[in-house]
Amino acid sequence: MSKRVVKGKNTRGGLKRFTISMQRKLVVLCGLVLLAFVGLGIKLFLINRDNGQAYTMQVLSQQAYENQTIPYKRGKIMDCKGTVLADSQLVYNVIVDSKQILEKDAYLEPTLDALESLGINRGRIREYITNHPSSQYYIALKNLSYQDRKAYLDKVEAGIKMEKEKKVAPADRKYDNIKGIWFESGYSRIYPHSDLACHVIGFSGSGNVGTGGLEEYYNETLNGVVGRRYGYLDESLSMEQTMIEPKDGNNLVLTLDANIQSIVQKYLKKHDDEYDNFDHPGNGSNHAACIVMDVHSGEILAMAGTPFFDLNQPSDLAALEGMPKLDANDEPMDSYLTYTDLLVMSDEDKPRYLNALWSNFCVSQYFEPGSTAKPFTVATGLETGTVDKDETFYCNGYKYIDGFEIKCHNREGDGLLTVGQAVERSCNVSLMEMAMSEGKENFTKFQNVFNFGLRTGIDLADEARTDSFVSDSTMTDSMLATNAFGQNFDATMIQMAAGFCSLINGGYYYEPHVVKKITSPSGTTLRTIEPRVLKKTVSEETSELIREYTVQVVEGRYGTGETARPAGYRIGGKTGTAETLPRGNDEYIVSFMGYAPAEDPQILVYVVIDRANFENQDDATFATVVVRSIMQEVLPYLNIYMSEPVTDEERAELEELGLAVTYTGDESPDKWEKQTW
């Protein structure tokens, strides 16, 4: 019996039969799809060939991308024995991500608690988060210390662990729901010794830009190079990162000795405290400044000037109290800043007064040096042969030149004097006679030899220019006469100190410098600054005579520098007194240029007191007593031992200072005899 076939249906499944016609149509459709894919592939190939780079850049620009700078560490500043005077410590900015904090309601309050624990005002930060819901970068706090950050992170970590152990419900977790807080690292400049060598070091603020002193002069040396961290999410949402490490700045090792610097500042402050508000409201003087210098190398062992300021808070106006008020040209007036003045000081005036506070008197300000210039005049005469060492001069108390009566320090006159006695007594008339013998050409020539009118080249910011020194073509006889004893020409302390060292060290003019070497962040020496002789100023014979004459200033019967002699030591030096402008105002700058030991000079101590707060300012004792106190402590510290016996009174003074008597009674065979004119 045959089966009956129903057309169009499959007897098994009831479906239409897959006919040859249908198969043909399917082949055609597949062919068309294949052709379409081939065409698309060709098109993609052409796009990639012709515009691939552009499309790649467009895709990358749409991906999540991160570009973060990594800060470098600014180099250290250290004294000659490794004491750190300036450093950079790791600090953090607290960054708030509002968008992440607002992802869940449970995040806000715990996060605000955490921010408040870091010292951030809760109300202020809540307001910011609410008003800036899409913000992902807001600096809520700057310069958080490493210790405070660590304490915070340890507390959060311990809290999260505790919540897990106690199985606290997610919505109730305090620590695990802190979100949107992260820390951005950086460095903050610190000065461990506050005001020590403040004018020499200077300070560095935001952006690692140095202001004043070494921080400014060596800014590029101390600065490093920032690093960078590049990161982006690729098309597979994987983070790709590239990092360039930062390069830290180099270090400075100074010629400065922190111990000597401390001694200097102690006695400058003692002077300031002693005369503070003495004759009028204000500091003990407009400035009390000191340079301690190695005679045979130009190395600065200490440099300071009052008023001091805290390098960690250089803009603190409290340091201005007692300073002179400034006129429209920033020149000091005869009135002084009070606490009330600081409270009402305008924003325009603050930078003027702070700049005056930060200025380094020793290198940035000039003045008439007074009689400390007399040894230079004597040396000029000896070198040119216009003054003989055996020559004598007669002083009757004054001299008429160009119609002017120019008086001597001793109005009664000193009588007949040798060259050495003229220096000992600081006789103006004798020095005027010497200058007249030398003549204007010789005098001005040797002023340049001694580097007056020229910068010394010291490696500190803002060294003053004094090149307006009068040339011999325009110098009158009266100008020559007054220049001979340090009036009517200006010099800086560093010019005077460097030049005087050459007078007593055999005639070698060393370039003064503060940095001894530059080292890498790892401590490797990159550069050593060796002592540099710039010129020969005088002969050894002239230098020996200048030493002899300046010892008489301290030891001679009529010497003006007797009060500078420290117990147990023989020293040389020269006093200086110069009346400030306008003449007749009874305001003076006094000074003493001292060196020790007398037989073999090793260090120079130069002190200047600018307008002491005292009725009678024209007394060099203001400077000599400071030099004496400094030398009394610095000389034994430098292992320079006493060559003279000490009195019972001096012994008691040394014991009070905790200093030993190092005199042994042994006399050097070439020891100079004390002069007794």
Residue 127 structural domain: 86-192
Give pLDDT, residue 25: 74
pLDDT band of residue 470 (cuts 50, 70, 90) is low
pLDDT band of residue 262 (cuts 50, 70, 90) is very high
Is the N-terminal amide bond of 314 cis, ω within 30° of 0?
A: no
Last residue of a domain, one of 171, 192, 213: 192
468 found inside a domain? yes
d(CA 291, CA 374): 19
Give pLDDT, residue 234: 57
Tell me: the pLDDT tens digits for 44-91?
666 666 665 555 444 444 444 456 788 999 999 999 999 999 999 999
d(CA 189, CA 77): 11
Q: Name 167's Cβ contacts closer than 8 Å, sequence gap at least 6.
A: none
Give pLDDT, residue 305: 98
612 found inside a domain? no
Coil, strand or helix at 143? strand
| Cβ neighbour number for residue 477 with a 10 Å cutoff | 14
Please report, as a single letter, which amino acid is at residue 260: I
Burial label, 641 (beta-carbon count in 10 A; 0-12, 13-18, 19+): middle
Question: Does residue 247 surpass a pLDDT of 50?
Answer: yes
Coil, strand or helix at 491? strand
Helix ranges (DSSP H) in 276-360? 339-343, 349-358
Which of residues 230 and 636 earns the better pLDDT score? Answer: 636
Least confident range of 6-10, 16-20, 365-369: 6-10
Question: Does residue 11 surpass a pLDDT of 80?
Answer: no
H or E segment to which residue 287 belongs: strand 285-294
CATH number of the CATH domain containing 474: 3.40.710.10
d(CA 594, CA 623): 10
Give pLDDT, residue 20: 77
Q: Name 421's Cβ contacts closer than 8 Å, sequence gap at least 6.
A: 414, 427, 552, 556, 558, 677
What is the C-alpha R_g of the chain? 39
d(CA 205, CA 189): 7
- The mean per-residue pLDDT over the stretch 418-422 comes to 97
pLDDT band of residue 274 (cuts 50, 70, 90) is very high
| Cβ neighbour number for residue 8 with a 10 Å cutoff | 9
Last residue of a domain, one of 535, 559, 593: 593
How many domains does the structure of the chain reveal?
2
Tell me: the pLDDT tens digits for 138-191?
999 999 999 999 999 999 999 999 989 888 888 888 898 999 998 988 899 999
Q: Is the dihedral of CA 20, 21, 22, 24 positive or negative?
A: positive
Own/partner long-range contacts of 160-165 (Cβ < 8 Å, ≥24 apart): none
CATH number of the CATH domain containing 91: 3.90.1310.10
Is the N-terminal amide bond of 512 cis, ω within 30° of 0?
A: no
pLDDT band of residue 5 (cuts 50, 70, 90) is very low
233 found inside a domain? no
- The mean per-residue pLDDT over the stretch 339-345 comes to 96
- The mean per-residue pLDDT over the stretch 516-533 comes to 97
Pair of tokens at residue 408: 């001597």
Give pLDDT, residue 53: 53
Report yes or no: 552 and 421 within 8 Å, Cβ to Cβ. Answer: yes
Last residue of a domain, one of 572, 593, 614: 593
545 found inside a domain? yes
33 found inside a domain? no
DSSP 439: H
Determine phi and psi for 399, rounding to 5 degrees.
-150, 135
Report yes or no: 182 and 156 within 8 Å, Cβ to Cβ. Answer: no
Please report, as a single letter, which amino acid is at residue 207: G
Give pLDDT, residue 473: 74
Least confident range of 10-24, 194-208, 386-400, 488-502: 10-24
205 found inside a domain? no
Q: State the average pLDDT for the chain.
A: 90
H or E segment to which residue 228 belongs: strand 227-233
285 found inside a domain? no
d(CA 484, CA 370): 9
Own/partner long-range contacts of 174-177 (Cβ < 8 Å, ≥24 apart): 174/110, 174/113, 175/110, 177/104, 177/106, 177/107, 177/110, 177/111
Give pLDDT, residue 385: 97
Question: Does residue 668 surpass a pLDDT of 50?
Answer: no
Which of residues 24 and 674 earns the better pLDDT score? Answer: 24
Per-position DSSP letters for 345-414, written without gaps between them: --TTHHHHHHHHHHS-HHHH-EE--GGGGHHHHHHHHHHHTSS-TT-EEEE-SEEEETTEEEEPSSTT--
27 found inside a domain? no
Pair of tokens at residue 654: 């040394």
Instruction: Tell me how far apart the terminal alpha carbons of the chain are, to the nearest angstrom.
Output: 166
- Global pTM? 0.85
d(CA 544, CA 553): 15
Helix ranges (DSSP H) in 63-145? 98-101, 105-117, 122-131
